[in-house]
Structure 1
Amino acid sequence: MGKLFGTDGVRGVYEKELTLDLAYGLGQAGASVLGRNAHRPKIVIGMDTRESGNALEQALARGIVAVGGEAVLVGVLPTPAIAVITREIQADAGVVISASHNPFQFNGIKFFDGLGFKLPDAVEDDIETIVLEKQAVELKEGGRISQLEKPEDLYLNHIKQAVKSDFSGLKVVMDCANGAAYAIAPAFFRSLGADVVVIGDQPDGKNINAGCGSTHLQPLQHRVVDEKADIGIAFDGDADRCLAVDNVG
């Protein structure tokens, strides 16, 4: 691995290790590598609920546009949703702005390929080399920023095709970690008939993973017992993993 990309993208404390200049450079370098041979890449950008997400999103998008790419913004959605949307709209890559289970001071930038999988190491190395060595890239006109309408529908439809179940009669307590799942996860379970009680669904930019979610199960355990629920589910900040407890917590 190089000096920027770890096992799960580029991460660090916002405005220290992970700056807006670095985000711009990653957007520019990523689009340049993916846009070789005169191709104009389309790159999906999603994020979790950290207060630094919007600024990093705009920096990434400006970098993509500077080299002639299209940045497709989808807003706050779980990491797996970005992977699915990238594939569904036939984008060249996807980017998630998140630091997963870490506190709000941290953030990260993770790339997916056009099929929604992690970029090959060789491609990450090419992007990293451009950024670290400050290599010049070809600036191109024609880039743009677009917004995908109702991107969550693409992900919800994908899940519903895999989960052909009726949750009627099931009472679920859900801890969304004040993160990326705070809206979409309860909506999905309710659409299948479940009675859903939600905690950790009031993100304010700073409370992601703070005493809640999959790294802090006690609030969920207590609420499951209090509500006489059948099951409890706790997500982490970007909702790419969850833990579950039974009806006795």
Structure 2
Amino acid sequence: MEAESSTPCPYTLKPVRFCNEDILFCVDADIESLAEMKVTGPKGRLITRLDTVKQAILLFINAKLAINSEHRFAFTALGKSASWLRKEFSNEVDSAVSALRMLLADSSYGHADLTHLFRVAAHEAKKSRAQNRIFRVILIYCRSSIQTQYQWPLNQKLFTFDVIYLHDKPGPDNCPQKVYDSLVDALEHVSEYEGYIFESGQGLARVLFRQMCVLLSHPQQRCVQDDIDIPKSLTKKSPAADSTPGEENLPLSTQ
């Protein structure tokens, strides 16, 4: 809603009927998803991208269901193309845990074709729409040198498409910028509502968790990605008794 102020509101949300979501996760099953993160688990156990992705997905699902228990989830894995892990959409956390346990990464794939993923999403989206629900695909991609490919009609936009891209630093053997550009192209080509894309080459779990939390936003209630100003930077506030006139809050590092 627009604020009652002389200053124009930069973002307005038009009244629409709220729809529950069917969300299809597609997780990269390439061996690059086994790259180590810059964090260790209990007793110094190494944590991979895939481990962290599974944790982030469960964080997302629990938070999404806390907001609205009517949202539902299903799971696919991306090799050369997408394949089902759990086809039935469910709002049961145990079902998600079971599906993620089946997600393995033990091969290196020469290419990544999103065409079948989009076909599956379009088919499922029509069923969701018949139930007054909306459909979203969340792709988590981990290959630093393989650009995604797809074949899809230009004006067929039946679902929202979000992407999180985890990659290595640029180098002789990889080209994450070109891969990222291919993902942006796919998002703009197929997404019905505003789709978000995030990337990280830092290997930090907290960055992935932060990005996943932003994706909690409902597609029907989103601003364009360039206008996102969350999460807010933390600030260090001095106790009132110790503050002095004109004293400014000092920024607190979020590292």
Q: Report the TM-score, using the length of structure 2 for normalisation.
A: 0.26
Using CA pairs below 8 Å that are at least 6 residues apart, which structure has the higher relative contact order? 1
Greater radius of gyration (CA): 2
